[in-house]
Amino acid sequence: MTAFHAPASPAPAGAATPGSVTRAAGAVAAAPGLLRIGTRGSALAVSQTTTVAEAIARATGVDVVLVIITTHGDVSRAPLAQLGGTGVFVSALREALVAGECDLAVHSLKDLPTGPCDGITLGAVPVRADPRDALCARDGMTLATLPIGARVGTGSPRRAAQLLARRPDLQVSDIRGNVDTRLARITDDLDAVVLAAAGLDRIGRSDAISERFPLHAAPPAPGQGALAIEVRSTDVALPVMRRALAALNDPRARAEAIAERALLGTLEAGCAAPIGATAAVEGGTLTLSATVYRLDGSEQLTAAASAAWDAAMPDAAAPTELGRRAAEELLARGAEQLAPLGGTR
């Protein structure tokens, strides 16, 4: 193993002395006083997993090592909508977790399939980063100032539909690759690309953003900006795991994520479905707004629902019911006529 990134700040008074955070070059055997976190190997995945690892090391005092797992989504260049659903970035990490090759797995929550996974529990959802989409355009242009017929790249059918709904004159191209690869296209064959603001912020590329889209105008993918920490169901009660998960979990972010995922699951929507959703806790109310688009952006349906919520409530019941209510309203109003629903989850 090689040193990767150690927490610089001292532990609070009375807290455990922070453990080390390292990155492994290969497989790592289980050992007392060590937690292994599975992650994809992209710069973004490693950056966000390192933040999680540092929080665990501070809270528990144990050493933490990042174990890099390659997923099918990392090696395939096919459009995401053709790769078999939202689990394309998740399945290899889950297999490694179940096989005992790591003790936790860190995912971008929007990549998680909505159905349950045997033997695995959603252990924590940390504080959510900026959920908005970001336009990265040449010369600092915004969506409104892009020239007629401008070429904009995105790998997301939702983003494509939203762009065309607001600017039907645009030429929207399907693109793949990591953040730097996509940004490089701006000076090559594209005028702009659309990416998640959270990802750009996490890897220090906020300077590439020329506009952050308002949530009401471009609702993001359910779970965008949030992380999901998964753990083997049999390990949740272990004392060190309880401390680690308690240090990571944010009840508000978790409730918002569960509501958005319940919406997606009820709609039976996969990654090919252009659906945007945003949940937010304000005061004692959890509100969810969701929009389903026709793929060409020519038509859309929006539904909203609210429910009472506080951090002392069971963390799944109210958000799950809220997501179902909003989805059922969309279905009753004809969402299946607009978008490819009932697909892989």
Q: Count of CB atoms within 10 A of residue 161's CB?
A: 28
Token pair recorded at residue 4: 């990767």
Identity (one letter) of the amino acid at 59? A
CA-to-CA distance for 69 and 80, rounded, in angstroms? 19
Distance from the Cα of residue 188 to its chain's centroid: 28
Q: Give the phi and the psi of residue 136 in degrees, each rounded to 5.
A: -115, 105
Q: Is 3 exposed, middle or buried (0-12, 13-18, 19+ CB in 10 A)?
A: exposed
Is residue 235 part of the annotated active site? The answer reads: no
CA-to-CA distance for 177 and 143, rounded, in angstroms? 22
Q: Count of CB atoms within 10 A of residue 157's CB?
A: 23
What's the start-to-end Cα distance of the chain, in Å? 36
Write the DSSP symbol of residue 297: S
Distant-in-sequence, close-in-space partners of 214: CB < 8 Å, separation ≥ 6:
132
63, 103, 111, 191: which is the annotated catalytic residue?
111
Active site residues: 111
